[in-house]
């Protein structure tokens, strides 16, 4: 496929566009992931809390694709923070996925109140040293959380997966990450499909290029340098979302999309999300 790679700060190459499976039930995940792999996706983003690591793993096994052509991400859930519990949770995820290693393991949320993410990260460093995760990173971490890891632990995170879409463009966090050589990965890149994709200004850009609003938004992310992981269970949309390498946005388009940044956060605020 035409999906470019980005090189993470430890030298690992990651497809810039992948497939997310949040809210896909385990018994539907295998079909969705199989469709994605047949459509050219090689990167899959799951998490322990999604409850679909087994279905995801079944699709991976059934694909017959060489393991080194796939990029599999999973995440540690909030209730498993802490050194020993992280090691146990990682074993459970690997076993559900049916894999010997993951390409990327992420701390799903910092859970500041629990104050355990430094210990969790030390377990991540051990998993990385053992080669059971080829890269380790973060999700929903803000600069203060990242600074603490950088000063109290050995290995720098490769990536921070954060809520990012045209209505929440995260300029400051993207700049912080890039200063620290941490890649930025956009979750809910399509704004969960709700209001964003119906915006008339996006529709006009889409019409101009003969593409869909979703494709315009994904192209915008790629131009910004974000890793992007759109989700769909609809085969035509799964294909549509990876068909974004045959057009370019111009300066007017980019300025219009810049103007959509309303600070509209769809998910929790990482500073106050302490649910385990």
Q: How far is the CB of 145 from ligand NAD (least distance, A)?
A: 14
Is position 110 an interface residue for ligand NAD (rule: CB under 6 A)? no
Q: For residue 19, give the nearest of 206, 175, 230, 215 by alpha carbon.
A: 230
Is position 190 an interface residue for ligand NAD (rule: CB under 6 A)? yes
The answer to whether 108 is a known ligand-binding residue is yes
Q: How far is the CB of 234 from ligand NAD (least distance, A)?
A: 7
Does the annotation count 83 as an active-site position? no
Query: Per CB under 6 A, which region of 17-25, 35-43, 124-132, 141-149 contacts ligand NAD?
Result: 17-25
Residues composing the chain: 276
Query: Per CB under 6 A, which region of 6-14, 78-86, 143-151, 183-191 contacts ligand NAD?
Result: 183-191
Q: Rank residues 128 and 191 by Cβ distance to ligand NAD and give the closer one.
A: 191
- The token duo for 157 is 């995170």
- The token duo for 118 is 């430094």
Q: What is the DSSP letter of 153?
A: S
Options 50, 105, 117, 128, the catalytic residue: 50
Is position 37 an interface residue for ligand NAD (rule: CB under 6 A)? no
- What are the φ/ψ torsions at residue 177 (nearest 5 degrees)? -60, -45
Is position 20 an interface residue for ligand NAD (rule: CB under 6 A)? yes
Q: For residue 39, give the nearest of 264, 263, 238, 246 by alpha carbon.
A: 238
Is position 52 an interface residue for ligand NAD (rule: CB under 6 A)? no
If DSSP codes are grouped into helix, strand and coil, which group holds residue 46? coil
Q: Rank residues 99 and 104 by Cβ distance to ligand NAD and give the closer one.
A: 104
If DSSP codes are grouped into helix, strand and coil, which group holds residue 215? helix
Total binding residues toward ligand NAD, as defined by CB under 6 A:
26
User: What's the half-sphere exposure (Cβ side, CA atoms, 13 Å) at 21?
Assistant: 35
- For the purposes of burial, counting CB atoms within 10 Å of the CB of 238, is it exposed (0-12), middle (13-18) or buried (19 or more)? buried
Residue burial 183-216, b: 16+ Cβ < 10 Å; e: rest: bbbbbbbbbbeeebbebeebeebbeebebbbbbb
x/- contact string, 74-93, with ligand NAD (CB under 6 A)? --------------------
- The token duo for 177 is 């990450």
Is position 189 an interface residue for ligand NAD (rule: CB under 6 A)? yes
Is position 232 an interface residue for ligand NAD (rule: CB under 6 A)? yes
Q: How far is the CB of 262 from ligand NAD (least distance, A)?
A: 16
- Do 58 and 258 form a contact (C-beta atoms < 8 A)? no
Query: Per CB under 6 A, which region of 121-129, 174-182, 188-196, 200-208 contacts ligand NAD?
Result: 188-196
The residues assigned a catalytic role are 50
* Annotated binding-site members: 108
Residues lying near ligand NAD in the complex (CB under 6 A): 20-22, 45, 108, 139-140, 161, 187-193, 197, 212, 214, 229-232, 237, 240-241, 267
């Amino acid at each position: 496929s035409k999906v470019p790679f980005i090189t993470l700060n430890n030298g690992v190459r990651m497809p810039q566009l992948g497939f997310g499976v949040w809210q896909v039930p385990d018994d539907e995940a295998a079909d969705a992931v199989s469709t994605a792999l047949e459509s050219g996706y090689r990167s899959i983003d799951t998490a322990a809390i999604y409850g679909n690591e087994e279905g995801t793993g079944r699709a991976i096994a059934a694909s017959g694709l060489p393991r080194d052509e796939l990029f599999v991400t999973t995440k540690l859930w909030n209730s498993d923070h802490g050194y020993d519990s992280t090691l146990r949770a990682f074993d459970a995820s690997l076993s559900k996925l049916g894999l010997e290693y993951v390409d990327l393991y992420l701390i799903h949320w910092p859970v500041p109140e629990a104050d355990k993410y430094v210990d969790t990260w030390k377990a991540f460093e051990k998993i990385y040293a053992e080669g059971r995760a080829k890269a380790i990173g973060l999700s929903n971490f803000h600069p203060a959380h990242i600074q603490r890891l950088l000063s109290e632990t050995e290995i720098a995170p490769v990536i921070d997966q954060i809520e990012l879409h045209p209505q929440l463009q995260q300029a400051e966090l993207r700049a912080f990450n890039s200063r620290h050589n941490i890649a930025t990965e956009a979750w809910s890149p399509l704004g969960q499909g709700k209001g964003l994709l119906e915006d008339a200004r996006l529709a006009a850009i889409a019409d101009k290029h003969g593409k869909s609003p979703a494709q315009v938004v994904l192209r915008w992310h790629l131009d910004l340098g974000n890793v992007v992981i759109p989700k769909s269970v609809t085969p035509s949309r799964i294909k549509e979302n990876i068909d974004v390498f045959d057009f370019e946005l111009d300066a007017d388009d980019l300025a219009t999309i810049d103007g959509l940044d309303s600070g509209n956060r769809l998910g929790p605020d990482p500073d106050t999300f302490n649910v385990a």
